Amino acid sequence: MGAEIQAEGFVERDYDQFAEKLRRSVGALERVVSRPGFGVGKTTIGAELELDLVDADFRPNPINLDVVASTDDPRITLELDRFNVEINACPSPLAGRPFEAMEQELASALVAVKKAAARHGARVVMTGILPTLTEADLTPSALTQSHRYRALSQGVRRIRREPFAMRIEGEDILEVTAHDVTFEGANTSFQVHLRVDPADFARTYNAAQVATAFVLAAAGNSPMFLGRKLWDETRIALFPQSVDDRARGTPGPSRVSFGHGWTTRGVAELFAESVALHEPLLPQLADEEPESVVALGGVPELWELRLHNGTVWRWNRPVYDPAAGGHVRIEMRALPAGPTVKDMVANAAFALGLTLAFAKEVDAFVARTPFTDVRDDFYRAARYGLDAPLLWPHAGPDAERRTTFQLRDHLVRLAGEGLVDAGVDAGEAERWLSIVRERVARRMTGARWQRRHYDALAARMTDARAASGMLARYVEWSDSERPVHEWR
């Protein structure tokens, strides 16, 4: 969940004042991140995990307010739809055994969520899109009742002024119309954070952009939505359309995107771009005057800029955090939830390791490669998964496209080098990356497992019963904590 706000029902004057404050805040950010020593420190990582709540029939269970109220664990918060909750894992140093720590953190928080859900007859599911969802589960009444989510809905609809018409072409074709942002809640993600020194931000961010397609191809876990078989990672197609504030046929950039070009000037460049391209959705003002804070040598909160940034959903998003002297991060948002904690932690290791490895040579790749090639690879990986032909950045200027399956040994080796060079214990890196290596070698991602088992059941029962039966089996295996390539 993004930052909660304390009001809703905004008027046009609120939006105008907020937009003016955003423009001033960008200037303050540029000055503070260019300050010598700002944000310099040990590399840390963190994670957020979005979850679905289901009933005894594995249908979505809209009781997140009850579940969150039943636990005093501060890591567990609400999400957009009433059948969603989120875990916010505590950050830890990248050096040493960070993924073991991440596994323990997520596992302990999951225990708390599951106990709270069980008190209300619910179970918890880790998957990118709940396969038992129907249109009736995603009406406006599905919206979690909080100031933030009601104001978000109001803000998007204020700009769009018409229903959301969505179309996804995959193995099947889905066409559906929504009247609120609640279809966004169908997407449940595993988001990985990497703290970066400001001087290294542009290079590391570009490297993350290059790495994402390879990681996503190996991690797909969202093959179905509303009974249709679509992309390996259907979230990537659904999310942009579910919160699209552009009226049909209106040109302009999507609020959910892979970006608009290579980053050359650092983190402030991306914040400035988001302010220039997108209208405010949540115009709640704070009292701070950021220019004055910076002029006095302080670290500004930049409340408005951070709030706005939370409503521009880049698949790799810049983050400014004023806590403890301030720092900047990259939030990797493309990965789905599930299938298991082990699979997600392995995906985090793969994503972080590849990013750190690619960062060493990314400038040469950026100089010779159109950004659109990498952007198109991202969507190709989301649709076709392990079969997606992707541009291999280490192959030189005349590179051929290769799949993650074909490149698995090279990719895992590079990711391992990136992690070890950053101080990760070599055995720790190998333990987690071996899960990715085996998953890809056996060609068994969560998306492929779901599709295979759904097809087997759908041959002898209704689609709805097949989806529920497949999900019941999925949850059984997910709770076993055996990685998905070992499932049967």
Going by the DSSP 8-state scheme, the letter that residue 90 receives in this structure is E
This prediction's pTM: 0.97
Q: How far is CA 293 from CA 31, 320, 406, 414, in A?
A: 11, 16, 52, 42
For the chain, the domains span 12-486
Q: Which CATH architecture has domain 12-486?
A: 2-Layer Sandwich (3.30)
Contact 423, 255 (CB under 8 A): no
Q: Please state, in angstroms and rounded to a whole number, the distance separating the CA atoms of residues 179 and 189.
A: 23
pLDDT at 395: 63
pLDDT at 450: 99
The two structure tokens encoding residue 77: 């918060």
Type of residue found at 388: A
pLDDT at 283: 94
Question: CA 440, 109, 182: angle at the middle one, nearest 5?
Answer: 75
Q: Please state, in angstroms and rounded to a whole number, the distance separating the CA atoms of residues 412 and 347.
A: 11
pLDDT at 1: 52
Closest by Cα among 241, 267, 258 to 374? 258
Q: Please state, in angstroms and rounded to a whole number, the distance separating the CA atoms of residues 408 and 424.
A: 21
Q: Please state, in angstroms and rounded to a whole number, the distance separating the CA atoms of residues 149 and 281.
A: 11
Q: 406 CB contacts (<8 Å, ≥6 apart)?
A: none
Cα 201 from chain centroid?
Answer: 19
Closest by Cα among 92, 11, 22 to 310? 22
Type of residue found at 437: R
Question: CA 306, 337, 449: angle at the middle one, nearest 5?
Answer: 155
Alpha carbons within 13 A on the beta-carbon side of 308:
27
Phi and psi at 287, nearest 5°, equal -80, -15
Question: CA 436, 437, 440: angle at the middle one, nearest 5?
Answer: 80
Q: Please state, in angstroms and rounded to a whole number, the distance separating the CA atoms of residues 81 and 243.
A: 13
Closest by Cα among 147, 77, 150, 144 to 109? 77
Three-class SS state of 393: coil
Alpha carbons within 13 A on the beta-carbon side of 325:
8
Q: Please state, in angstroms and rounded to a whole number, the distance separating the CA atoms of residues 321 and 353.
A: 23
Per-residue pLDDT of the chain (488 residues; tens, 9 = 90+): 567 777 788 899 999 999 999 999 999 999 999 999 999 999 999 999 999 999 999 999 999 999 999 999 999 999 999 999 999 999 999 999 999 999 999 999 999 999 999 999 999 999 999 999 999 999 999 999 999 999 999 999 999 989 999 999 999 999 999 999 999 999 999 999 999 999 999 999 999 999 999 999 999 999 999 999 999 999 999 999 999 998 777 778 999 999 999 999 999 999 999 999 999 999 999 999 999 999 999 999 999 999 999 999 999 999 999 999 999 999 999 999 999 999 999 999 999 999 999 999 999 999 999 999 999 999 999 999 999 999 988 766 666 799 999 999 999 999 999 999 999 999 999 999 999 999 999 999 999 999 999 999 999 999 999 999 999 999 999 999 999 999 99
